[in-house]
A and B are shown apart, each in its own frame.
Chain A
Amino acid sequence: SAVISQKPSRDICQRGTSLTIQCQVDSQVTMMFWYRQQPGQSLTLIATANQGSEATYESGFVIDKFPISRPNLTFSTLTVSNMSPEDSSIYLCSVEDLRDEQYFGPGTRLTVT
């Protein structure tokens, strides 16, 4: 499976600020996704990062709050904008391989104070 890295691994941010999370894959992949895992809960898909076009957002998530970039087939960023304590979560990047299996990066643990 592809090797996925994320930066930063964790951060503590003040409310009202923004944080950009990077996801790097060691091989070209078609599908990249961003998930959120709130404390004690399961994973929720935020959006699909599309290479060369705007991301596809799931219900409840909007581009102004979670802008996503996908400049090429190995890299994507997720920005959490105008943060509030409710945004404290683990943010996970995932990729889908040619067998339609999804693999996750190590995650970014965000705490908003």
Chain B
Amino acid sequence: QKEVEQNSGPLSVPEGAIASLNCTYSDRGSQSFFWYRQYSGKSPELIMFIYSNGDKEDGRFTAQLNKASQYVSLLIRDSQPSDSATYLCAVNADSSYKLIFGSGTRLLVRP
């Protein structure tokens, strides 16, 4: 059974700090990795994707991928209260278009 694991949290950080969200996956064949943000009562919103080992930066967000360790992370710099949400890690399964989602990490940014 392909799995994607996330710490459910909540992860609480002060405003302006760096929030670090982590995700591990079991399928070594996975090629595509996505981070979605989901506000309460809303649908998931794609915020980052990464395909290659290393770091990918987009504004305040940095995705990090280590395929050897089967680990992907999301860093949020200068965290804002508006970043408070559940962050879902998703990984493609069987090298296909199917996505397997982790259970999500709830982030709380304290003003």
Residues of A within 8 A of B (CB): 1, 31, 41-45, 48, 58, 90, 92, 96, 100-107
A92 close to B46 (CB less than 8 A): no
Chain B residues near A45: list those with CB within 8 A. 98-100
A43 in contact with B98 given A101-B34, A101-B49, A102-B34 (CB within 8 Å): no
Interface of B is mostly: strand
Chain A residues near B46: list those with CB within 8 A. 1, 101-103
B88 close to A43 (CB less than 8 A): yes
Count of inter-chain pairs, beta carbons less than 8 A: 44
Partner of A43 from the list B42, B49, B97, B101 (CB cut-off 8 Å) is B101
B88 close to A42 (CB less than 8 A): yes
Within 8 A of A (CB), among B72-104: 88, 90, 92, 97-104
Min Cβ gap A37→B in Å is 9
Min Cβ gap A19→B in Å is 18
User: Which residue of the partner chain A has the closest CB to B44?
Assistant: A104
Partner of A104 from the list B43, B103, B104 (CB cut-off 8 Å) is B43
A102 close to B43 (CB less than 8 A): no
With the chains together, A44 CA to B3 CA distance in Å?
12
A43 close to B32 (CB less than 8 A): no
Chain B residues near A104: list those with CB within 8 A. 36, 43-45
Give 8 closest A-B pairs by Cβ, nearest first. A104-B43, A43-B101, A42-B101, A107-B43, A42-B103, A104-B44, A106-B43, A42-B104
Chain A residues near B98: list those with CB within 8 A. 45, 48, 58
Chain A residues near B97: list those with CB within 8 A. 31, 48, 96, 100, 102
Chain A residues near B92: list those with CB within 8 A. 100
With the chains together, A58 CA to B98 CA distance in Å?
10
Partner of B32 from the list A58, A100, A105 (CB cut-off 8 Å) is A100
